[in-house]
Amino acid sequence: MQILTLSTDIGHHDYIVGAVKGQLFSKNQNLIIADITHFLSPSNFPQAAYICSNALKFYPANSIHIILLNVFENFQQQILIAHHKGKFIICPDNGILTMITGEKPVEIVSVDIKNKNTFLQITESVAIAVDQLSKGLKLNEVGNSINSLVEKFPLRPTVGNDWIDGQILFIDRFENVIVNITQNEFEEQRKGRSFKIIFKRNEVIEVISSNYSSVNEGEKMAWFNSAGYLEIAMNKGNIAGLFGLQGFNEKMHEQVSAVHNKWFYQTVRVFFE
């Protein structure tokens, strides 16, 4: 049995997800398909990379992961297949691959898409490639070697001697706010010093909690979530909605710079003392 995950930006409002699964099963009925999400934001690659990379790390070696995000933007008539840390990733050549992996994988090939008129014509070629991988074919037998690809990399925090600035990567369904500062980055910069986590100009948190119940109901808190990222939350409250916090979007960066006040709603700063 071949384990395969499916992540897309197409939602559940029509038949497309079911049709893609039908294509995959038609080529190989021994697949085990797991849905990660079908609500990736096509315009927010950092958010999509956060979701996909932190889900994929829990899957076993030789699993196959299809990420179909913003497929038609600058479509190059090819789909990429990479072998990275023992797993296969199939995605468009639009930068999402390196956003997920954090580096350019050593093993990458492309699969030509002869007919790109519809989404399901593209996924038909993906289904064929999945079947070939599940049967043990090597990457160079499934696709063609490539010389270049679109490379984008994860949004990294900005650091100074006594501070670190992070952007809001993701806001979950409970309106908890995830920031692109990992626990390792935080501790490396902290160097044992005390700290103040500041958001929306003057909201301050000075303690890292172990979980949501570490603070009283309605009290704001910070902790490092199961993915190892800094999370700003409120026990039984919606901190993003209450304080007007917003997820950072790379495509809005120029607009944010022009209207500087918006920056305070998308950035979290940590001062070390």
In the beta sheet, which residues pair with residue 8? 68
pLDDT score of 250: 60
pLDDT score of 262: 53
Cα–Cα distances in angstroms (integers) from residue 155 to residues 58, 131, 142, 168, in the given order:
22, 34, 32, 10
Identify the H or E element spanning 87.
Answer: strand 87-92
Cα–Cα distances in angstroms (integers) from residue 47 to residues 9, 100, 187, 250, 267, in the given order:
12, 10, 23, 10, 14
In the beta sheet, which residues pair with residue 223? 231
User: Of the residues 145, 172, 201, which one is the last residue of a structural domain?
Assistant: 145
pLDDT score of 256: 46
The domain spanning residue 204 has which CATH number?
Answer: 2.40.30.90
Verify that 15 and 139 share a domain, yes or no. yes
pLDDT score of 252: 53
Verify that 132 and 185 share a domain, yes or no. no
The beta-strand segments (E) located in 113-264 are 144-145, 158-159, 163-171, 177-182, 195-199, 203-205, 220-224, 229-234
The residues near 13 (Cβ < 8 Å, ≥ 6 apart) are none
151 in a domain, yes or no?
A: no
Mean pLDDT for back-to-back runs of 10 residues, the chain (273 residues): 96 94 97 97 92 96 96 80 97 94 94 82 94 95 91 89 93 94 95 94 91 91 96 93 80 49 72 95
Owning domain of residue 55 = 2-145
